[in-house]
Structure 1
Amino acid sequence: MTKASHSKPKKIRCAIYTRKSHEEGLDQEFNSLDSQRDAAENYIASQSAEGWVALPTRYDDGGFSGGNLERPAMKRLLADIEAGEVDCVVVYKVDRLSRSLLDFARIMGTLDEQNVSFVSVTQHFNTTHSMGRLTLNILLSFAQFEREIIGERIRDKIAGQRRRGKWAGGVPVLGYDVDRSERSPKLVINDDEAVRVRRIFAMYLEMGSILPVVQECERRGWLNKAWVTRGGKSKGGRPFDKSAIHAMLTNPLYAGRIRHKDQTFKGEHAAIVDKVVFEETQRLLKSNSRGRGNAVSNKHDALLRGLLFCPKCRLAMVHNIARRKTKLYRYYTCQTAIKRGYKKCPFPSLPAGEMENAVVEHIRRIGSDTELRREVLTQSQTQAAGELEDLGGQDRLLTKQLSQYHAELEQLSAKSDASSKATDRLALLHEQIASAERSLATVRADAEALQDREFKEHDINAAFGDFDNVWKALTVNEKSQVLKLLIERIEFDVDDSSIAITLHPSGIKSLSAAHEPEKQEATA
């Protein structure tokens, strides 16, 4: 006769996780974390017949939000789970583990991989049963829905404020300060900064290009808006670049309007720039954009306008004329010398005709010299590789910034805080995300265009092979457009009377492509 064997149930190691969003009250002898752990230990004790045992290790996150996984105890818990030291995770309520549906899904994925179950004490379910898993998904879906509703309300509030012309928060811009003395923050003109803003708009209309404006701001030591966050961190105060100047010139705030998506509304704040000046600036920006707008009239045959730069001031040289009785003389002169006199820039004016002929002759020599074409190819490919590397660095930086912005946005949304401070920060984050996404799209489009315009020796030969005959058949405006297509920058060295020409890789590729149909017709 044999005795019946009674095997003991398998031991289930239970890790108790506790969390509290704020540190308030944690210094008490029996705080919220202790209360959560006590309830979990009692529940585990009630399941002792099933082999449940509470692990002595404490996984307590005091003062950490549930909107993300950047919590020390959570990281330790996940590490122990992956190490196979935990069979079940027990919490007081589901939201103690996470308030983010995405993060919770990641945690549950880790638990499933390690065959670890999950139990909520007060909501009476666990994932060892199918009904518990269904209930869990329903609860999380409603929690996510609630957070999205809160986000929509905040976005609707911001949209409503902007339609009424109110400033709804964001990064302060040069020319305005934020007055927070009233319930709703307002923009007020900073008189000293407003003078610079008006001058930047005037410089762009005078120079006709953003780069010379950037260089002039750098020469004057002008910086963009410097401000201090509510947390006491200093922001801004950096030198202008092309992107910052373009953002300023296209910002309707300066014309007294508030932008919301694709619309603008009359703002409560005063305008810094006259409406006529702002509209003229937009027309010039549009005409200067690639592939848009009409060519500017070239009355005096200035072929090198916008291409020839002063090596002293690094500014584009201006085409001007002088009359002696019935004869017309054309020159390229440094902007600094024109506006501030030759004492500020001693670089001499250059005779326009001679400079233009020298540049055209240089292009013609490329077409007839095989070695020179190969040298141009090598230099252009090196330049393109450097630009692509820079764009890659910008892409990585913007991607990292977007990740940080989204993480903070998710954290703020999870708090369900509708205070003025939280609303301002959320509005700022939405603007920062939109701005970073626009910049990232531009960077990636530039990188894609740079890769598309990569050219080889065939393109050099096609672009310059029949240059002489093509050049003779062009009008003055067409010649100017061809030079702008081929050349990025020209500098003249007065010491040895040499010309340094930087070619545009994209222009060579375009000119090569334009010649392909002509060659196909000729061989047909």
Structure 2
Amino acid sequence: MTRVACAIYTRKSSEEGLEKEFNSLDAQREACEAYITSQKHAGWLAVRDLYDDGGLSGGTMERPALKRLLADIKSGKVQIVVVYKVDRLTRSLADFAKIVDVLDAHGASFVSVTQQFNTTTSMGRLTLNMLLSFAQFEREIAGERIRDKIAASKAKGMWMGGNIPLGYDARDRKLVINEAEAKTVRLIFRRYAELGSVTLLQEELDRQGVRSKQREGAGGQLAGGRPFSRGILYLILQNHLYHGEVEHKGNVYPGQHEAIVDADLWSVVQDKLAANRKARELAVGAKA
């Protein structure tokens, strides 16, 4: 009997519950193993390698286990890919087409144990395309809901997370002023208003040993605490958060947090930035 090497691929979008002794990935794998066992008469045998992507979206091909699986298909180590449901493999119709191309090119096939689909037949492929179209539609609708929620929250002046800006701490998902860092922010704005040059400002901050915000990254490693680059200084000087505002897609809303920079200083800095920007554009135009 010809041996058919079967690879079980499992995926879970969030990391929630992955630390449990028996999690969603284990449940998916157990169902797939049972299905492979039921096909033992056809020579099906599960390979020992595990292809598990925990905490990764099905809307991208950038998944370590999926990449390894595709490489093993190309090398001939895997003849059949077994998944619990189609959307565990991918939620993107375009990505699914790429995966099927790899399977076809290397004589491999794909089976969903709960949906009984097989890519070796035209009808199976049509049904899968229809299913994935709905899966992609569902993902896009969910994305639209998230974007709408973010836009509505920012219109109310809420800070929606991300890197905590210099001058603030995050408490209960709200920005509160870190007075020690706020002094640095005010210094940056005040000195730019006096110097009128980001280059001169950067040089002065370097001489004074002023450093960027220090953050605790993954694994407890500290990041930041470095000299300010010109790019970062430009971002700070244009950041509406420091004026007590929240910006979203070109719109500016009053924020729920306290401003670090007063209205007069903010206006002076924005006027100087605009004037310098126009002067650079004129200089470039004259050279052209």
Alignment TM-score, normalising by the size of structure 2: 0.84
Match in the other structure for 1:61:
51
Read off the aligned partner of 1:130 and give its amino acid letter: S
State the distance in 2 between where 1:123 and 1:202 align: 65
Matches within 5 A, 1:362-373: none
Match in the other structure for 1:204:
192
Secondary structure of the equivalent of 1:235?
strand
Read off the aligned partner of 1:104 and give its amino acid letter: F
> What displacement does 1:173 show?
1.5
Secondary structure of the equivalent of 1:17?
strand
State the distance in 1 between where 2:113 and 2:252 align: 52
Read off the aligned partner of 1:151 and give its amino acid letter: G
> What displacement does 1:83 show?
2.5
> What displacement does 1:218 show?
0.5
Q: 1:155 to 1:245 in 2, by over 3 A?
A: same
Q: 1:12 to 1:127 in 2, by over 3 A?
A: farther
1:250 to 233, 238, 245: 238
Q: 1:191 to 1:16 in 2, by over 3 A?
A: closer
Read off the aligned partner of 1:57 and give its amino acid letter: V
What percent of counterpart residues are identical?
44
Per-residue CA distance 1:183-236 (angstroms, 9 max, x = gap): xx1111111222222222121121121111101110111012222247634232
Q: 1:247 to 1:31 in 2, by over 3 A?
A: closer
Read off the aligned partner of 2:29 and give its amino acid letter: L
Q: 1:282 to 1:224 in 2, by over 3 A?
A: same
State the distance in 1 between where 2:72 and 2:237 align: 55
Secondary structure of the equivalent of 1:19?
strand
Q: How many residues align?
A: 278
Read off the aligned partner of 1:60 and give its amino acid letter: L
Matches within 5 A, 1:212-291: 212-229=200-217, 232-291=220-279
Match in the other structure for 1:122:
114
2:6 to 7, 10, 15: 15
2:20 to 24, 48, 51: 24
Read off the aligned partner of 1:19 and give its amino acid letter: T
State the distance in 1 between where 2:68 and 2:231 align: 44
Which runs of no fewer than 5 residues in structure 2 stay unpaired?
13-17
Matches within 5 A, 1:90-109: 90-109=82-101
State the distance in 2 between where 1:204 and 1:18 align: 55
Q: 1:230 to 1:12 in 2, by over 3 A?
A: closer
What do you get for the CA RMSD once the two structures are aligned? 2.9
> What displacement does 1:31 show?
5.7
Read off the aligned partner of 1:70 and give its amino acid letter: R
1:70 to 63, 67, 70: 63
1:165 to 154, 157, 162: 157
Secondary structure of the equivalent of 1:253?
helix
Which runs of no fewer than 5 residues in structure 1 stay unpaired?
1-9, 295-484, 486-505, 514-524
State the distance in 2 between where 1:236 and 1:282 align: 26
> What displacement does 1:266 show?
0.7
> What displacement does 1:256 show?
1.1
State the distance in 2 between where 1:69 and 1:194 align: 39
**Any conservation in 1 of the 2:157–2:245 contact (CA below 8 Å)?**
yes
Rg bigger for which structure? 1
Read off the aligned partner of 1:39 and give its amino acid letter: Y
**Is 2:140 aligned against 1:148?**
yes
**Any conservation in 2 of the 1:162–1:260 contact (CA below 8 Å)?**
yes
State the distance in 2 between where 1:289 and 1:127 align: 57
Alignment TM-score, normalising by the size of structure 1: 0.48
**Any conservation in 2 of the 1:66–1:96 contact (CA below 8 Å)?**
no
Q: 1:236 to 1:108 in 2, by over 3 A?
A: same
Per-residue CA distance 1:481-515 (angstroms, 9 max, x = gap): xxxx6xxxxxxxxxxxxxxxxxxxx79x92xx6xx
Read off the aligned partner of 1:254 and give its amino acid letter: Y
Read off the aligned partner of 1:259 and give its amino acid letter: E
**Any conservation in 1 of the 2:9–2:81 contact (CA below 8 Å)?**
no
